[in-house]
Amino acid sequence: MNNLEPLISAQQLADYLEVPLATLYAWRHRGEGRPGFRAGRHLRYRKSDIDRWIKGRLLERAR
């Protein structure tokens, strides 16, 4: 039984957020955005981390 959450690539995240891939890399360089991790040479993100980050951003904006 596999309990690991599926991972999404940087390109999939850029598509999901509708931002250029370069924006994700810029956010990562500046320490903004949702932190991903390296799987070898590839940057990966957990969908639950992304959803939590979006919710936090929406709450900040509502204040």
Q: What is the per-residue pLDDT across 32-55, written as a single tens digit (0 to 9) for each?
A: 877 788 888 999 999 888 888 888
Over 80: is that where the pLDDT of 3 sits? no
| Residue 26 C-alpha from the chain's centroid | 12
What is the model's pTM? 0.79
| Biggest alpha carbon–alpha carbon distance for the chain | 42
Chosen CATH of 7-62 out of 1.10.760, 1.10.10, 1.20.120, 1.10.260: 1.10.10
Over 80: is that where the pLDDT of 63 sits? no
Contact between 36 and 28 (Cβ < 8 Å) = yes
What are the residue ranges spanned by the domains of the chain?
Answer: 7-62
| Residue 33 C-alpha from the chain's centroid | 7
Among residues of the chain, what percentage have pLDDT more than 70?
Answer: 97
